[in-house]
Structure 1
Amino acid sequence: MESAAVHLQAIRQIERNLEACILGKTSEIQLLLTALLAGGHVLLEDVPGTGKTVLIKALAKSIHGQFRRIQCNPDLLPTDITGVSIYHPKQEAFMFRPGPVMTNILLVDEINRATTKTQSALLEAMEERHITADGELHPLPSPFLLLATQNPIDFEGTYTLPEAQLDRFMLKFSLGYPDEATEQRMIMSQARRHPLEDIEAVADSEQIYAMQQQARDVHIDDAVVAYIVAVTRATREHPGVFLGASPRATLALVQASKAYAYLQGRSFVIPDDVKFLARYVLGHRMILKSEAIMDGLTAGSLLDSVFQSIRVPVRLEK
């Protein structure tokens, strides 16, 4: 059994691998690793060309995991994702041919271009970690991380993700454009070859599973739990909110906070972990009233006001 120190060293090397491919995005890389350690999934809402595919490929190579990519379009069928049973005359039986979902790292590109029926095919995989084909269950490999992308600019020919599916994503964030200096460094770093070509695996599936277990064992004080519950309940009671964060969101914030604390090398969660993660865990799970949006209210500003109104738990010395 490898020690926690060995696992932390591996996660640091994974972090360095990703930072070599995606420059100047330390916080976003930590969010991705938080989702991996917490067993969650990620929705990246960003314009094309910001490095989303490179980031997820670098992660797959770093953990020696299988990587598959699905390019969504209105013609995509659910069986194109999950797989299909094909009749083999020699065996005189139907044989299941697994789809691209049977992988460790799955990139679902432009998920809002798939029809709602196809989008729903991902729900079982995301939540239950298995798929059903012809009445039989097929477990997904472990670890399994789904990263979906959508373009926030082009809405023509798209199908908005329903609230039930948005709620399955633990985190939602964007990479955004690099600053001027970082973009110059990016050009120089790729002058001869892409850094992705030099990435080597620094962990395997067993190590990732062990890290996930250690992240779950991170201590979270009752006062911090009460703090998280107070935050999510405040989103439901805010006058500008039509639909607040669900109990699943509360659980997701707890799991993400534990994983983020583990990523920072701590064995316990602090309120600052909750504050940092809240907008990425809760923001996409809330629906604001139209009049509140017209008044300039956003999910971020709402959460800022919520945190200002809730007392931060302070550890009492014995």
Structure 2
Amino acid sequence: MRINLQHQPRGILHAVVATALALMLCACAAVTRPPDPSRPRGASDQPYPVVLNANPEREASALAAWSNLLGAGAAGALPTPALRPVTATLIALPPNLSTLPRMPRVIVKDAPQQSEEETRESLRRFIERAAPLLGVAPGELSLVEVTDAPGGAKRARYRQTPFRFPLRNGYGDVEVIFTPDLRVSGLSSTAIPDAERLRLALAAFRGQLIPAEKAVASLADRIVAFTDAAGIEQSHTVSATGDATARELVVFPVQRDGDAVAASTLELHIAWEIYLGAQSPPLLVYVDALTGEQLSAGVAGGD
């Protein structure tokens, strides 16, 4: 993929070049962690979990898309947007932007106000243009809702649905806040890029999934750590699993703490989402559906 840097504003051009060089140097310096022989292997001897690696081209593409969104009319050097590690998706619009991105105006029928159909098409075209910055193809998104936002704006929430199972752990959400004149005042994404490759890789492990009842039974006498609604770290010992319910299989991305290799990779696990309702507060626990590892836990309704 080639990125045209000739017409990028100076601030973004420097950011693109610096980011690409820095990430390429890091990639060259990093030592790839060898596969764990005890982990499951896919049909083509692919190691598990499936991994998304940080990619300098992905980040450069996101920055170029950011520049294109604001256009040549933006005054002065453009602020560099904050991107998420590994996925290189937009965290939020930089504060105090002098020029906001705009959605294209779509006219389906002559009316004083834009119709719902026209608004959806404006959103679709905007997301298509911003795709490298959001880390998602428009066809992977489903519109969840359009609600009122402060100041007369509207908030459109999308869910990324590229996999057989739904995404969890805060991933897969795209949000666009826009004003009546179609200025975009808020934009963020936790989408997973390179989704088609990852989908095929995850599919290779579907025949190795542990049954729901085995995942539930694995929680007996385990200590479950979680953060409560007040942000306080708590723990709970699962004394019995009679009330536990395996709700569904999900795709659960995990970014591990640790060295530079861990910081530059995102692991994608297939997990059982298990509801524990006997204790207060009720919990959702995520158990790896291939290894039985407890990946995470949280208060039910908090994901």
- Normalised by the shorter chain, which TM-score bucket? under 0.3
TM-score, L = length of structure 1: 0.26
Give the number of the structure whose residues are more often helix, by fraction: 1
Whichever of the two has the greater Rg, that structure is: 2
Give the number of the structure whose residues are more often strand, by fraction: 2
